[in-house]
Amino acid sequence: MTSYHGQISHSGGYCMLLGQSRLMFSTLLSWDARLDAVIASKRWDDAFALAKDFSLEIAVAVVGLSSDSTVRRSALQDRITQLLTAFISDAARKKTSLRDFVPLAKKMLVFCAEIHSMDTFFNHVMVFLQTIQVKDAAIYAIESALLDGTITSVPDTFIRELVELFQTPTRFNAVVSKNCLLYTSPSPRDS
């Protein structure tokens, strides 16, 4: 571990650390700039961990995050929604199969459950997943999360969709088949 003998800081978030034999420069970023930087570099595990720390109020250096709990929670929910949609969009750009979206959806479910923000998943993420037509993979992941206890309750509309997924062979097979790439539009029978 390096020890520093002094510190000089000035406006703009820059910090200069004075050591015995070297000089280090550092930039201090606000909480949202830190999250943006991790998302931009597509380090998804780090982005989820950082967002979780902010949500659970255990993060260090929360510069720019409001001390008012209502404002803070709203800002965090917006950023978490952006994180999850960026994560999904990145996966969709890779032309992932529907089956490959199941563990990604499960990862998002676990994340939302850990930060006590299932409403973000069910209200915002599911709408986005429907837009890019991978909602069935998320419905299948919901079933898995229910079975292993990750989540314990689901809104009624998704319970109905879960039943419909298992009752419609073409939709179900699209989720569990390795070779079924993302489809562009559901057949009239699946609507």
pLDDT at 4: 53
The answer to whether the beta carbons of residues 169 and 116 sit under 8 Å apart is no
How far is the C-alpha of 48 from the C-alpha of 187, rounded, in Å? 35
Q: Give the mean pLDDT of 9-30.
A: 73
pLDDT at 50: 93
Residue 66 has pLDDT above 80, yes or no: yes
- The DSSP string of 29-79 is --HHHHHHHHHHTT-HHHHHHHHHHHHTT--S--TT--SSHHHHHHHHHHH
How far is the C-alpha of 116 from the C-alpha of 153, rounded, in Å? 12
How far is the C-alpha of 48 from the C-alpha of 39, rounded, in Å? 9
Q: Give the mean pLDDT of 43-52.
A: 95
How far is the C-alpha of 179 from the C-alpha of 191, rounded, in Å? 22
The answer to whether the beta carbons of residues 15 and 7 sit under 8 Å apart is yes
Q: Give the mean pLDDT of 63-72.
A: 84
Lowest mean pLDDT among 55-69, 73-87, 157-171: 55-69
> Residue 120: how many CA atoms within 13 Å on its side-chain side?
24
Residue 5: pLDDT band (50, 70, 90) is: low
Mean pLDDT over the full length of the chain: 84
Residue 184 has pLDDT above 70, yes or no: no
How far is the C-alpha of 63 from the C-alpha of 41, rounded, in Å? 21
Residue 11 has pLDDT above 60, yes or no: no
pLDDT at 3: 56
